[in-house]
Amino acid sequence: MRGVSAVFFLLITGGVLYGAFTGDLTKIGSAAVRAGQEALETVVGLIGGFAFFGGLIGILEKAGAIGLMSRAMRRPLEGLFGKNAGDEAFEAVSVNLAANMLGLSNAATPMGMRAARLLNAEHASTPSDALCMLLVINATSVQLLPSSVIALRNAAGSGMADAVVLPGLAASAVSTAVGIALCKLLQKREKSE
């Protein structure tokens, strides 16, 4: 959270100082005070959309989508992580990624932590190649359904709220592919040194 606090600090000090030189501090003050009200209005606009997508994903989850997707991903994952990671670790990794794809961060995070623990069974002090891979895939995000984005777009009055699903999926796939490729590249280079 430190990075966010730094941005918070810079925007506020920068804004106030800039405003002191160029113009109207009262205007800045009232804009700041209104922010809470705006936050509330935004959330009210979002609750409906979040309810819809939460419900949709709730059905998919109960229908066993996580289990199905994690089984389908098993083979490709073995190629990425190397076979010596162990069965239990693979299970955790694939459930973590499947839950992430569906946007179920409540289910994804504990599984990801479990996977990280299992991938570091030797209690090494630096992350292994496989653990780096897990983190990079999580940090570059693989999202099938950007539900919060669609909800936000609807709340903003978009006439084509879900027009960004495919481009978003492509962007998400490219970010993850670049992450994976760089991981593999760096792992190879470190080994050859």
Partner 1 sequence: MTVWLLLFAVVAGIARKVDLFSAFSEGAERGMKSAARILPYLAATLTALRVAESSGLMENLCQALAPVSGWLGLPSGAMPLLIMRPLSGSASLALLGDILRAYGPDSRTGLVASAMMGSGETVLYTCAVYLSAAGIKKSRYIIPVSLAGWIAGCVTAGLFFR
Write out the binding residues for partner 1, residues 1-20 only, by CB under 8 A. 1-4, 7-8, 11-12, 14-16, 18-19
- In whole angstroms, the minimum distance from the beta carbon of 74 to partner 1 comes to 20
> What track of x and - describes contact with partner 1 for positions 30 through 69 (by CB under 8 A)?
-xx-xxx-xxx-xx--xx-xxxxxxxxxxxxxxxxx----
Q: How far apart are CA 176 and CA 140, in angstroms?
A: 5
C-alpha R_g of the chain: 21
DSSP H helices, the chain, are: 2-22, 25-62, 65-81, 87-101, 105-119, 129-140, 147-155, 165-192
Measured over the CA atoms of residue 148, residue 149, residue 150 and residue 156, the dihedral's sign is positive
Please state the length of the chain. Answer: 193
Write out the binding residues for partner 1, residues 66-105 only, by CB under 8 A. none
> Of these, 79, 126, 191, 192, which contacts partner 1 (CB under 8 A)?
126
Task: Give the nearer residue to partner 1 in terms of CB position, either 12 or 72.
Answer: 12
Euclidean distance between the first and final Cα of the chain, in Å? 35
Q: Does 134 bind partner 1 (CB under 8 A)?
A: yes
Task: Give the nearer residue to partner 1 in terms of CB position, either 63 or 72.
Answer: 63
Number of residues near partner 1 (by CB under 8 A)? 106
